[in-house]
């Protein structure tokens, strides 16, 4: 079985632009979570979706938004990019949304904002 | 939300046992404790998960005391390939939503 896949692998944008990152979960997983990981820090939770509904939101500005599609894939959108948005964006999938459910992470999308 | 605290870094040598402790003083009753391993420019990889007492799998053991305010990941006989950052994750529920919280991780360096 394929693991969590993310696209693109790398992305370079300039300040003020918009970006869309994509994630395909492991087959059968219905929950997708997004994390931002700045160099030298642990992943910071952005969003969690389950059955196309938002189930959790971290402390991120409204410039960040996401959605989940009927096939359980997901998109993370970031508007009005800032230099500080440069980071590794991780997607994780799991069966449900709970502390007991193991999250499986994708390889991430490296976003550089110039 | 449960906050986790780990040592920033640790050094070890091949063949030794490594124990990494994570503090989570305000862990909630329903929270599980999960440990992940991360190599540079890769996503975290699941190592082990537990709720209380001891859990063991083919790669590690997890020790959780009765008060659950801390947990210790034990890696037996480490090798050079175990050099990575190790994260303790405690699940937290806020407003009915599950909000997972990662700490800053422990950078483990294994020397020959």
Select the residue from A42, A47, A109 to test the B interface by mutation, using most B Cβ atoms within 10 A. A42
pLDDT of residue A97: 67
**pLDDT, tens digit (0-9, with 9 covering 90-100), for B57-68:** 999 999 999 999
* CB-nearest partner of B43 from A48, A97, A108: A108
- Mean pLDDT estimate for chain B: 91
Question: Does residue A27 carry a pLDDT above 80?
Answer: yes
Select the residue from B44, B64, B90, B95 to test the A interface by mutation, using most A Cβ atoms within 10 A. B44
What b-and-e string marks burial along A87-99, b requiring 16 or more CB atoms within 10 Å of the CB? bbbbbbbbbebbb
- Mean pLDDT estimate for chain A: 93
**pLDDT, tens digit (0-9, with 9 covering 90-100), for A78-113:** 999 999 999 999 999 988 766 677 889 999 999 999
Q: What is the DSSP string of A50-71?
A: ETTEEEEE-S--TTEEEEE-TT
Angle ∠(A81,B41,B12) on CA atoms, nearest 5: 135
Element (DSSP H or E) covering residue A8: none
The whole-angstrom distance between A107's CA and the closest CA on chain B is 5
B45: chain A residues, CB-CB within 8 Å: 105
A33: chain B residues, CB-CB within 8 Å: 100
A45/A43 Cα distance (integer angstroms): 6
């Amino acid at each position: 079985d394929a693991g969590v896949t993310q696209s693109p692998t790398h992305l370079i944008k300039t300040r003020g632009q918009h970006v869309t990152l994509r994630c395909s979960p492991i087959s059968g997983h219905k929950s997708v979570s997004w994390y931002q990981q700045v160099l030298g820090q642990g992943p910071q939770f952005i969003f969690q979706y389950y059955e196309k509904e938002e189930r959790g939101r971290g402390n991120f500005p409204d410039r960040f938004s996401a959605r989940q599609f009927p096939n359980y894939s997901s998109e993370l959108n970031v508007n009005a990019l800032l230099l500080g948005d440069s980071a590794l964006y991780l997607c994780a999938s799991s069966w449900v949304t709970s502390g007991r459910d193991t999250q499986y992470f994708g390889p991430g999308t490296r976003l550089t904002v110039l | 939300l449960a906050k986790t605290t780990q040592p920033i870094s640790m050094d070890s040598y091949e063949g030794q046992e490594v124990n990494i402790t994570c503090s989570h003083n305000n862990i909630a009753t329903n929270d599980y404790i999960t440990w992940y391993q991360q190599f540079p420019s890769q996503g975290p990889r699941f190592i082990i998960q537990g709720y209380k007492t001891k859990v063991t799998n083919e790669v590690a053991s997890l020790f959780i005391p009765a008060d659950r305010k801390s947990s210790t990941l034990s890696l037996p006989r480490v090798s050079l390939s175990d050099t990575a950052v190790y994260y303790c994750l405690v699940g937290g529920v806020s407003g009915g939503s599950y909000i997972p919280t990662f700490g800053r991780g422990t950078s483990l360096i294994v020397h020959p």
